């Protein structure tokens, strides 16, 4: 009885998001219709949360099958893994949608707003399809639609040349990544005879080792592109920042996680672990991704770009967990493999929460101060206290500070890395514990990065008129921010809520994974620590004291201006200096006039960063393809005699081939 109702709720979710709301929005411009549609979007996502939660905690399985209708089997199923990600989508979608109510309202005219909402709703449903798909066909349909719809949302925001270029890059890389995903699905086909997940799972034992390796590589490549692992991340810092903030929140917070889902589904569920070196490959790529991601992030001054790079970093952390898990799997240590997987999945979930919170916060900032350039912000905390508080929560979470959710997942990954020492294999024994150092470095840099974000944007004096006149954002936005911040703190203090079901989820994916006592102990100790910290802090805060306003110390000079504050660029300078080899900046200083170097009229300074991937990998590749195309184009000379010659030559070649065959 109950199962039936969950089924229905899920169908309701799909129908509302995928059909009803978009139709209403497209069909009618009326305010009432829009309100209805938005209410349905929010409501159905709440329902989705419940559905997912029921499936996640109660292990119910929901199955919706459209196969009899569609040309290829199209079925959706919520098993535990899907439930986790469905929960992730819906949990993030609710606050984001609430936030968007006032964001879209402020930014767009009536018609475009309706289209935005329609695409928003469809985007959500496409992601839901991806994570609940039970057949390859359904998965791929959702996968492609997800990209398309997000690109549509980006283009609706505006279509300047630069934006179009970025969207183009995004679409192209996503398509190429999707091709890899398609290939990795289809590689099972000769053995499983259908793309049904169940049959793939059963057939995967019969797949020869070479094909398994190929599947693994393609899945890593395909999902890695979507996730944004370096050097396949090129699109991410370009596409995410230019979307409307709620959409960026969904893209960075949720869409990237579908790639994690896909990778876990493939490598853990289907393959049951890759070849022996797979873990090391993933681990090293992930370490590089995490480290470079955060280093690029810290050097950014555009808040949304910074957040996008930080997503790259967090994807690195997630894959670090996945790689660790694969190493343990390869060395037959399922308990620890399970723990690492728990860490990775939990971090995926946490990152969804705090990254969407951060992007929403960026949206709130742009709403209030009309810019997300850190160099033009400052002093927002006293002007937008609620936004500031929620963003502080997000910054703490993403920096991995205890009492916030980011810490818990990083802790689990740390713990599993440490456990590498119990393995017999020397490589793993050395590598995994050493990776602790890498993760620590990533964590330290992340903390530095988000000190900068919060410190520069919210503290001190405003650096521009707009920031000075910023006002607190409307209630809807605050509600969205508040919901996400609450969940961040909630999970941060009571991680047991998620850890326990995650452990049982992992036991399904990794046979033999017990309940590591670690998960229990961390869940127990954190609330105590929280109690101590909060108790002491509040007690100290309650002590009686007198306060007096005094001008900031300015070495005795009058008139400290906001230009004297440390800027975002200045803040990151030491780190950029130390890691300058990573950035390889293209600096260019032009002094005019050139013949009088000591009496310049103007000096221009330009520094372009992080283009080395483009220069080293993408440009040559693109140029290779384009030059091939141009060569072919020249072969199309326009001379009919040459055309005829082609035909004759083809014929002669084929006849020769025939002769040769004989």
* 572 counts as binding another protein under rule CB under 8 A: yes
* 532 counts as binding another protein under rule CB under 8 A: yes
Residue 173 CB, nearest approach to another protein (Å): 9
| Closest among 458, 446, 444, 445 to 565, alpha carbons compared | 458
Q: Rounded to the nearest 5°, which phi and psi values hold at 586?
A: -95, 95
CA separation for the pair 447, 352 (Å, rounded):
18
The residues in 403-422 that bind another protein, with binding defined as CB under 8 A, are 403, 407, 411, 414-415, 418, 421-422
What lies within 8 Å, CB to CB, of 290 at 6+ separation is 313, 314, 315, 316, 317, 320, 438, 439, 442
Instruction: Using CB under 8 A, pick the residue from 529, 592, 608, 617 that binds another protein.
Output: 529
The residues in 435-464 that bind another protein, with binding defined as CB under 8 A, are 436-438, 440-441, 443-445, 447-448, 450-452, 454-456, 458-461
| Contact between 378 and 371 (Cβ < 8 Å) | no
Instruction: Using CB under 8 A, pick the residue from 4, 546, 595, 597 that binds another protein.
Output: 546
Q: Which two tokens stand for residue 128?
A: 């839901």
The residues in 76-105 that bind another protein, with binding defined as CB under 8 A, are none
Mapped onto helix, strand or coil, the DSSP state of residue 596 is coil
Cβ nearer to another protein, comparing 538 with 601: 538
Longest CA pairwise span in the chain (Å) = 103
Residue 379 CB, nearest approach to another protein (Å): 6
* 400 counts as binding another protein under rule CB under 8 A: yes
Cβ nearer to another protein, comparing 46 with 179: 179
CA separation for the pair 290, 293 (Å, rounded):
5
Instruction: Using CB under 8 A, pick the residue from 547, 587, 595, 598 that binds another protein.
Output: 547
Residue 28 Rama label (left phi>0; alpha psi -120 to 50; beta): beta
Binding mask 122-161 for another protein (x = CB under 8 A): ---------------x--xx--xx--x------x---xxx
Following CA atoms 72, 77, 80, 86 in sequence, which dihedral angle do they give, to the nearest 10 degrees? 90
Residue 58 CB, nearest approach to another protein (Å): 29
* 171 counts as binding another protein under rule CB under 8 A: yes
Residue 144 CB, nearest approach to another protein (Å): 5
Cβ nearer to another protein, comparing 16 with 416: 416
Q: With CB under 8 A as the rule, give the number of residues binding another protein.
A: 147
CA separation for the pair 621, 630 (Å, rounded):
14
The residues in 183-212 that bind another protein, with binding defined as CB under 8 A, are 183, 186-187, 189-190, 193, 195
* 388 counts as binding another protein under rule CB under 8 A: yes
Question: Which segment (94-102, 242-250, 327-335, 629-637) binds another protein by CB under 8 A?
Answer: 629-637
Q: How many CB atoms lie within 10 A of CB 107?
A: 17
Cβ nearer to another protein, comparing 10 with 571: 571
* 552 counts as binding another protein under rule CB under 8 A: yes
* 643 counts as binding another protein under rule CB under 8 A: yes
| Contact between 226 and 256 (Cβ < 8 Å) | yes
CA separation for the pair 440, 28 (Å, rounded):
53
Binding mask 25-64 for another protein (x = CB under 8 A): ----------------------------------------
* 284 counts as binding another protein under rule CB under 8 A: no
Tokens 């101060």 belong to which residue? 369
Residue 618 CB, nearest approach to another protein (Å): 12
What lies within 8 Å, CB to CB, of 58 at 6+ separation is none
Question: Which segment (28-36, 246-254, 345-353, 385-393) binds another protein by CB under 8 A?
Answer: 385-393
CA separation for the pair 220, 441 (Å, rounded):
25
* 543 counts as binding another protein under rule CB under 8 A: yes
- DSSP state letters, 468-523: HT--PPPHHHHHHHHHHHHHHHHHHH-THHHHHHHHHHHHHHSTT----HHHHHHH
């Amino acid at each position: 009885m109950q199962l039936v109702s969950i089924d229905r709720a899920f169908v309701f979710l799909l129908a509302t998001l995928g059909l009803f709301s978009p139709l209403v929005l497209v069909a009618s411009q009326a305010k009432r219709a829009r309100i209805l549609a938005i209410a349905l979007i929010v409501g159905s996502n709440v329902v989705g949360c419940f559905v997912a939660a029921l499936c996640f905690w109660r292990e119910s399985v929901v199955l919706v099958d459209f196969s009899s209708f569609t040309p290829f089997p199209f079925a959706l199923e919520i098993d535990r893994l899907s439930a986790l990600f469905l929960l992730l989508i819906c949990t993030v979608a609710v606050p984001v949608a609430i936030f968007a109510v006032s964001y879209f309202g402020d930014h767009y005219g009536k018609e475009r707003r309706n289209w935005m909402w329609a695409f928003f709703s469809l985007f959500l449903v496409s992601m839901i399809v991806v994570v609940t798909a039970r057949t390859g066909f359904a998965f791929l349909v959702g996968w492609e639609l997800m990209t398309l719809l997000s690109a549509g949302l980006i283009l609706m925001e505006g279509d300047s040349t630069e934006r179009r270029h970025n969207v183009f890059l995004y679409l192209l890389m996503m398509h190429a990544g999707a091709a890899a995903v398609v290939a990795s699905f289809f590689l099972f086909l000769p053995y499983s005879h259908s793309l049904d997940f169940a049959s793939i799972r059963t057939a995967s034992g019969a797949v020869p080792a070479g094909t398994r390796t190929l599947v693994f590589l393609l899945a890593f490549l395909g999902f890695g592109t979507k996730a944004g692992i370096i050097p396949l991340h090129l699109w991410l810092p370009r596409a995410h920042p230019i979307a409307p903030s709620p959409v960026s929140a969904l893209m960075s917070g949720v869409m990237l996680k579908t790639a994690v889902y896909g990778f876990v589904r493939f490598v853990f569920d289907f393959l049951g672990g890759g070849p022996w070196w797979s873990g090391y490959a993933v681990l090293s790529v992930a370490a590089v991704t995490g480290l470079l991601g955060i280093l690029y992030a810290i050097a950014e001054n555009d808040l949304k770009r910074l957040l996008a790079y930080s997503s790259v970093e967090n994807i690195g952390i997630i894959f670090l967990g996945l790689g660790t898990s694969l190493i343990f799997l390869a060395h037959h240590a399922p308990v620890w493999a399970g723990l690492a997987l728990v860490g990775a999945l939990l971090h995926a979930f946490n990152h969804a929460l705090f990254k969407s919170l951060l992007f929403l916060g960026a949206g709130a900032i742009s709403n209030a101060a009309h810019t997300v350039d850190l160099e033009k912000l400052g002093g927002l905390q006293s002007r937008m206290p609620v936004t500031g508080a929620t963003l502080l929560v997000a910054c703490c979470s993403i920096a991995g500070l205890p009492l916030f959710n980011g810490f818990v997942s990083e802790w689990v990954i740390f713990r599993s890395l440490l456990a590498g020492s119990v393995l017999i294999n020397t490589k793993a024994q050395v590598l995994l514990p050493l990776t602790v150092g890498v993760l620590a470095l990533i964590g330290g840099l992340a903390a530095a990065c988000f000190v900068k974000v919060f410190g520069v944007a919210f503290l001190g004096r405003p650096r521009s008129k707009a920031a000075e006149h910023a006002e607190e954002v409307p209630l809807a936005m605050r509600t969205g921010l508040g919901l996400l911040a609450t969940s961040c703190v909630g999970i941060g203090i009571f991680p047991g809520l998620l850890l326990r079901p995650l452990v049982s989820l992992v036991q399904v994916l990794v046979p033999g994974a017990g309940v590591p006592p670690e998960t229990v102990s961390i869940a127990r100790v954190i609330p105590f620590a929280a109690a101590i910290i909060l108790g002491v802090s509040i007690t100290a805060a309650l002590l009686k004291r007198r306060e007096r306003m005094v001008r900031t110390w300015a070495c005795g000079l009058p008139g400290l201006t906001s230009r004297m504050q440390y800027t975002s660029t200045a803040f990151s300078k030491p780190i950029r200096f130390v890691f300058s080899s990573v950035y390889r900046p293209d600096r260019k200083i032009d002094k005019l006039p050139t013949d009088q170097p000591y009496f310049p009229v103007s000096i221009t300074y330009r520094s372009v960063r992080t283009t080395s991937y483009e220069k080293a990998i993408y440009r040559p590749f693109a140029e290779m393809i384009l030059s091939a195309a141009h060569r072919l184009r020249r072969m199309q000379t326009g001379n009919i005699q040459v055309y005829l010659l082609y035909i004759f030559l083809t014929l002669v070649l084929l006849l020769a081939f025939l002769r040769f065959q004989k």
